[in-house]
Homo-oligomer: A and B are copies of this chain.
Amino acid sequence: MRYNFAAVHKAILAVVLAIAAAAAAQPARRAVSLVVIGGTVVTENAAHRVLTPGALAINGTDIIDVDRPDVIAGRYTAAETIDARDQIVLPGLINTHTHAPMVMFRGLADDLRLMDWLQKYIFPVEAKTVSAELVRIGTRLAALEMIQSGTTTYTDMYYFEEEIARATREAGLRGVLGETIIQLPAPDAKTPAEGLARAERFIKAFKGDSLIVPAVAPHALYTNDKTTLVASAELGRRYGVPVIIHLAETEDEVRMARDRYHATPVGYLESIGFWGPRTLAAHGIWVTDEDIQVLKRRGVGVAHNPESNMKLASGTAPVRKYLAAGVALGLGTDGAASNNDLDMFEAMRQAAFLAKLATRDPTAIPAQTALDMATTGGAKALGMDRLIGSLEAGKRADVITVSMSAARQTPLYDAVSHLVYVTRGDDVRTTIVNGKVLMKDRQVRTLDARAVIADANRLSQKVREAVKR
């Protein structure tokens, strides 16, 4: 066979011209900071759109585009690309209730009655050990665990909240952080008035921060009097920040409210004008149908903590009723002293399991609803659903990628089922908050994992000694 060189050259020239024409026809690609290409993108938008495959373009702090990988590749050039082609991309998980530094007390005392646990272990050990240092070291450890397990926003209630805010900001996480107000002498305030003053300084210092939403957190109805509860709500309203409270966690709390105030906890707090659209109630287990209507009417968000509620035998929150009433319902882990970890995948699984058992109906809280609670539900409960909770252009880029190729994830018929029923925090590969990559291929960039763990281990010796005494 002989080649016709002239014909071959002509053909090559035609190809080259076609490529040049195509390049000219394509608009210039926009430079962005980050592109994430996923095998599956679970957007959690209103239509529950899932792209298989899908991709995101992120610029600065925001998601600017969600589409097919070829479309995103055609539109953007990225400073950094996350290749998650065998993974699932989803919104970062939102933990609506925890006490971050209490990771320092995890597994210290389990399987005890709530009052024994609090009075013999947690309160005395807290009194002896909670300091700015413990809070700082504990928050770093909690932040490491949260980044490693795909939580991008968390809600906190503890002491020395400014330390928590600083450590959270350094770690790059988003936090709704409430300085605790309690009637008893606290590690960082002798009186509630001192606590309120502390909370006000804290709010002023962090209001407007791009990652931290400062908040005030009156501990509970049973640990604060009316004056303190009202003053806390007032403080929140004055600064337009969230007010966070433990609500109706135990039957004892309901009994106390009935004895003292002749009302349910929700009813009493309603009677003193406590509730508002920025209030967030943790637990909300022992509530009446009327209570649920009050919470709905006032726009209160509720944080459901299935693991803590089971481990402490507190009871079962009426999750289906909340959802039916349209109450904004998020998921939380509670503090690691009563869980004992901060893994939101376990919280999702447990929310589904617990609701099914409690209602004796296996269709209760299907996987999709559990995932909604950990993403859009949490965002709504925090009043932040315009910013976070789903992968949509214009929202903050809080994104995680999750590997889906372990033996226990094989075969893969349904991404949402697998996310809820067989996935753990350890499967998270990438964690992005506010457009910044905090973890890639499980390497955390914002914290020195070894140093964080070593510091916590060193400090744990103090905790051990405090229990002995």
Contacts and interface: CB of A to CB of B under 8 A. Distances in A.
A357 B309 CA distance: 8
A408 B145 contact: yes
Contact of A408 (B309, B364, B422, B425): B425
B107 A460 contact: no
B339 A110 contact: no
A464 to B, nearest CB: 7
A238 B352 CA distance: 44
Given A107-B421, A367-B111, A413-B464, A407 B453 contact: yes
A393 to B, nearest CB: 30
Interface stretch (A38-46, A51-59, A204-212, A310-318): A310-318
A104 B413 CA distance: 10
A360 B312 CA distance: 8
Contacts of A268: none
Contacts of A336: 408
Contact of A356 (B117, B310, B361, B406): B310
A421 B340 contact: yes
A353 B310 contact: yes
Given A107-B414, A110-B421, A362-B117, A407 B315 contact: no
A365 B310 CA distance: 12
Contacts of A411: 104, 106-107, 456-457, 459-460, 463
Given A408-B149, A410-B141, A360 B313 contact: yes
Interface in A424-469: 424-426, 449, 452-453, 456-457, 459-460, 463-464
Nearest to A339: B421
Among A104, A343, A421, the most chain B Cβ lie within 10 Å of the Cβ of A421
Nearest to A467: B413
Interface in A105-125: 106-108, 110-114, 117
Given A341-B408, A367-B111, A452-B407, A362 B311 contact: yes
B141 A407 contact: yes
Interface string A391-424: 0000000000000011110111110011001101
Given A311-B352, A353-B311, A424 B421 contact: no
B112 A412 contact: no
For chain A, give the interface size range.
35 or more
A103 interface: yes
Contacts of A106: 411, 413, 421-422
A356 B449 CA distance: 34
Interface string A349-376: 0101110110111111111000000000
Among A343, A359, A407, A418, the most chain B Cβ lie within 10 Å of the Cβ of A407
A353 B357 CA distance: 12
A182 interface: no
Given A408-B341, A412-B107, A361 B313 contact: yes
A353 B316 CA distance: 12
A307 interface: yes
A342 interface: yes
Interface in A317-360: 336, 339-343, 350, 352-354, 356-357, 359-360
A410 B103 contact: yes
A379 interface: no
A34 interface: no
A121 to B, nearest CB: 11
Nearest to A309: B357
A418 B425 CA distance: 16
A148 interface: yes
A107 B307 contact: no
A114 B362 contact: yes
B366 A110 contact: yes
Interface in A126-165: 141, 144-145, 148-149
A452 B424 CA distance: 22
A407 B117 contact: no
A334 to B, nearest CB: 13
Nearest to A423: B341
Q: Which 8 A-B pairs have the closest CB atoms?
A: A411-B460, A111-B366, A310-B353, A107-B417, A340-B421, A313-B362, A145-B407, A313-B356
Given A111-B363, A336-B408, A407-B452, 10 more contacts: A141-B407, A141-B410, A144-B407, A145-B407, A309-B357, A311-B353, A340-B417, A341-B421, A341-B422, A411-B457
